[in-house]
Amino acid sequence: MIFREVEDRDLIAKARRGHVEAYNVLVSRWEKRVFNYLLRLVGQREDALDLSQDVFLKAYQNLKKLDDPAKFAGWLFRIAHNEAYSLLRKNRPEGEMTVEPKMAEASGGLFPIESTLAVRSALARLSDDHREAVLLKVYQGFKFEEMAEILSCPVSTVKSRLYTALDLLKQTLAPVNTGGAE
């Protein structure tokens, strides 16, 4: 008997022919990543779970539209991005801005901060666009070009969002040590 690793493209090909079980294997490979991306983006566990199910259902329904199976990850996260932003727009009234971190709160005198709570809090203070740039780059490892495709915006915008986000996070998670002056 010969064992070989079944690749995503094999599963995609089978799922396209109506093999639900092949699609379930594909889901099991990606559900944790998609769920955590959505959880960090929308902030609510139940919402993230519901969105994850919607994302995988939409992906199954549109699997035949995926031109290149090698781009499945970017394509899946594009669906996730669209679903998440639909919810964020619905839940957040027009014009309401995300609270930007304040220097006084951000520095907090902790150096270095490794606490999970602190990281979550720092991410939560970012705007949705800035937070998403960090999630796609730092947690999902996408390249700038892939992020631009997922977010439907130029690479320059992606870079700008990520760099701004890193500056803001840096103020919280790695503040300048001023010898207790603050």
Partner 1 sequence: MSCEIDLKAYVVGEATRQERGMVEDHVRGCQGCREELDRLNLTRAALVSLEDEEIPRRIAFVSDRVFEPRWWQTMWRSGPVMGFASAALLAGAILVHGFERAPFVDAAQIENRIESRVNARVVAAVNEAQAKQAAEFAKVLNATKLQREADLATFQQASEYYQKQMARMEVASNTGYGQ
CB of 76 to partner 1, least distance (A): 12
Size of the residue set binding partner 1 (CB under 8 A): 45
Alpha-carbon dihedral angle through residues 174, 175, 180, 182, given to the nearest 10 degrees:
-150
Q: Rounded to whole angstroms, how far apart are CA atoms 69 and 67?
A: 7
Q: Binding pattern to partner 1, positions 50-79, x when CB under 8 A?
A: --xx--xx--x-------------------
- The token pair at 6 is 């079944």
18, 93, 179, 180: residue in contact with partner 1 (rule CB under 8 A): 18
- The residues, any chain, with a CB within 8 Å of residue 42's CB and separated by 6 or more, are 48, 51, 84, 87, 88
CB of 95 to partner 1, least distance (A): 29
Residue 116 in contact with residue 73, Cβ under 8 Å? Answer: no
Q: Rounded to whole angstroms, how far apart are CA atoms 137 and 133?
A: 6
Query: 171: number of CA atoms within 13 Å, CB side?
Result: 16
CB of 1 to partner 1, least distance (A): 25
**Residue 17 touching partner 1 (CB under 8 A):** yes
Q: Which residues bind partner 1 (CB under 8 A)?
A: 17-18, 20-21, 23-24, 27-28, 31-33, 35-36, 39, 45, 49, 52-53, 56-57, 60, 112-114, 116, 118-120, 122-123, 134, 137-139, 141, 143-144, 162-163, 166, 169-170, 173-174, 176
